Amino acid sequence: MARLPLVSPLDRILFLKAQPYLENQPPGLLTALASYTQERMYPAGSTIRKADQPVSRILFLGRGRVEIGEDPATGLRGNLIDAPGIVGLAHHFAGIDRTPPVEAASDTLCLEISTTDLDQILEDHFSLLLEFARRNAEQAHASHLQLGAARPPEEGFAQHAQRDTPIQLDLVQRLAQARHAPFFAGTNLSVIGQLLRLETPRRIAVGEALWKQGDRIDSMALVLDGRFRTEGRYGVTLAPSGAMLGAWEILSEEPRAEGWVAESPSRVLSIRKDLFTDLLEDHFDFALAYLRRSSLKTLEAWQLLAEKNAARD
């Protein structure tokens, strides 16, 4: 590894502006981000990160290519990342210590930032946090859609948490039910309460659509009871009670990629997009938890896709 000649702040800003996630960020934020970076050149064949090392720095690639080795935790085969590109985000946000090795496949120019500094910038600059959350979740959703028939069911209530819910639910009962949903695992009850306090359960009849592919995205929905299946071109996937439908596309500006139809009499609690976004801004821990879940979802999909491709080979 070698240090590059010092580049000007403007050079760094233009360098970062060409990176995924950063192209639409304001100059002031890019200036702050650039001030925490170091410029590096990795010769072809040099080690950037050894296997099983926690991610301590994120790389923004400006030139060259890096090779991600086999993941020791999952056995997932590696892949190549070309510039411009970012290395380390998924494993950092997922909080995984067992990481794959990273090596320069060619002479590679990059800017590096420590994960500690990046997390601080995300806490101070919500526009960047929101962009990371949106892109991360969209990647998780798109990766799972690619699985087609191999896509696993959505995660719902654990068996011990499944129960008959009253016909009418007050706020305390809504909280008692929602806190067992996997999406809310570890979430402060006050945050869940702010998301659900104004919502009343909506009944969905058998065969009725919760929403359809192509609809505008304005909410996601917690399944209190019942069961749903996908309606779209990506095959059939089931969602039991306790699943959070639309969680990985809630921040997207695109139309819905898939619809959901009730397979049994169901009730859902809707969570508005604007309210969810406001709470991400107000509660940094909640935002980091959302980034962690979407990153884990992406890594899960990558592993399943690798297994699917290996079986086909």
Sequence ranges of the domains in the chain: 2-124, 150-284
Please give the share of the chain, as a percent, with pLDDT higher than 70: 89
Q: Dihedrals φ, ψ of 232, to 5°?
A: 175, -165
Tell me 223's DSSP state. Answer: E
62-71, 146-155, 228-237 — which one is most confidently predicted on average? 62-71
pLDDT at position 311 is: 66
User: Per mean pLDDT, which of 15-19, 20-24, 242-246 is the most reliable?
Assistant: 242-246
| pTM of this structure | 0.87
* Two structure tokens written together for 156: 């719902």
User: Which top CATH class is 2-124?
Assistant: mainly beta
What mean pLDDT is predicted for residues 7-27?
Answer: 86
Q: What is the pLDDT of residue 2?
A: 42
Topology agreement, domain 2-124 and domain 150-284: yes
Helices (H), the chain: 9-17, 27-35, 89-94, 115-124, 126-145, 171-178, 189-196, 273-282, 284-312
Average pLDDT, stretch 19-48? 92
Tell me the average pLDDT across 130-135: 92
Q: Compute the CA torsion angle 53, 59, 63, 65 (nearest 10 deg).
A: 30
Q: Is the pLDDT higher at 76 or at 269?
A: 269
Q: What would the mean pLDDT of 262-272 be, rounded to a whole number? A: 95
Provide mean pLDDT across the span 109-128.
Answer: 94
Whether 100 and 72 have beta carbons less than 8 Å apart is answered as: yes
Closest CA to 71 of 286, 251, 300: 300
Is residue 39 pLDDT above 60, yes or no? yes
pLDDT value of position 310: 66
pLDDT score for 3? 44
pLDDT digits (tens, 9 = 90+) for 162-188: 555 656 677 788 888 899 999 999 999
On whether the CB atoms of residues 57 and 282 are closer than 8 A, the answer is no
CA distance 250 to 209: 17
Q: How far apart are CA 288 and CA 280, in angstroms?
A: 9
Instruction: From residue 62, give the alpha-carbon distance in Å to each of 14, 86, 92, 100.
Output: 10, 9, 20, 21
CB 272 within 8 A of CB 207: no
Taking the CB of residue 293, how many other CB atoms lie within 10 A of it? 22
Candidate from 93-107, 121-135, 154-168 with smallest mean pLDDT: 154-168
Q: What are the distances in angstroms from CA 279 to CA 43, 91, 170, 285, 290? A: 44, 24, 22, 10, 11
Compute the distance between CA of residue 19 and CA of residue 61 in angstroms, rounded to an integer. 8
The predicted pLDDT at position 161 comes to 54
Q: Return the DSSP state at 96.
A: -
Helices 126-145 and 273-282, packing angle to 10 deg: 130
Confidence of residue 21 (pLDDT cuts 50, 70, 90): confident
Among residues 105, 20, 33, 38, the alpha carbon closest in space to that of 68 is found at: 105
In contact, 228 and 238? CB cutoff 8 Å: yes
| Amino acid identity for residue 21 in this structure | Y
Looking at domain 150-284, its CATH superfamily turns out to be Jelly Rolls (2.60.120.10)
Distance of alpha carbon 43 from alpha carbon 289, whole angstroms: 36
